[in-house]
Amino acid sequence: EAEVAQSPRYKITEKSQAVAFWCDPISGHATLYWYRQILGQGPELLVQFQDESVVDDSQLPKDRFSAERLKGVDSTLKIQPAELGDSAMYLCASSRAATGYEQYFGPGTRLTVT
């Protein structure tokens, strides 16, 4: 069964350093999502791609976060510089289309900023 791949699974970084996360969605899925999840909370959407285009990045802290999906397949989320408050689980998900379809989530990247 196809799965969403994410790497790394765990990342520890110091404050003010740069960090990057990678996601490979299920083949053929046009929509890709990056979420941040703080312990005890639901996933919060950071950015949504439709193919290679960003359709929603309203909750992305653009002064330090960036995301790209250059060829409409895999995607990278970057934080520079990292802050203590960025410690969270970062989840990637994909779906066949933006509406009416379930999302398939990857295992997530647990980020700890020290």
Partner 1 sequence: SQKIEQNSEALNIQEGKTATLTCNYTNYSPAYLQWYRQDPGRGPVFLLLIRENEKEKRKERLKVTFDTTLKQSLFHITASQPADSATYLCAQEGYSGGYQKVTFGIGTKLQVIP
What are residue 92's phi and psi, to 5 degrees?
A: -110, 140
What is the Cα–Cα distance from 26 to 22, expressed in whole angstroms?
13
Closest CB to partner 1 among 22 and 105?
Answer: 105
Q: Answer yes or no whether residue 106 interacts with partner 1 by CB under 8 A.
A: yes
19-78 binders of partner 1 (CB under 8 A) = 33, 35, 40-45, 48, 55-56, 58
**What spatial distance separates the first Cα and last Cα of the chain, rounded to whole Å?**
37
Closest CB to partner 1 among 14 and 44?
Answer: 44
Q: Answer yes or no whether residue 103 interacts with partner 1 by CB under 8 A.
A: yes
Closest CB to partner 1 among 18 and 55?
Answer: 55
Closest CB to partner 1 among 22 and 104?
Answer: 104
Residues 6+ apart with CB under 8 A from 19: 11, 13, 78, 79, 80, 82, 111
Note the maximum CA span of the chain: 40
Residues that bind partner 1 (CB under 8 A): 4, 33, 35, 40-45, 48, 55-56, 58, 91, 93, 98-108, 110
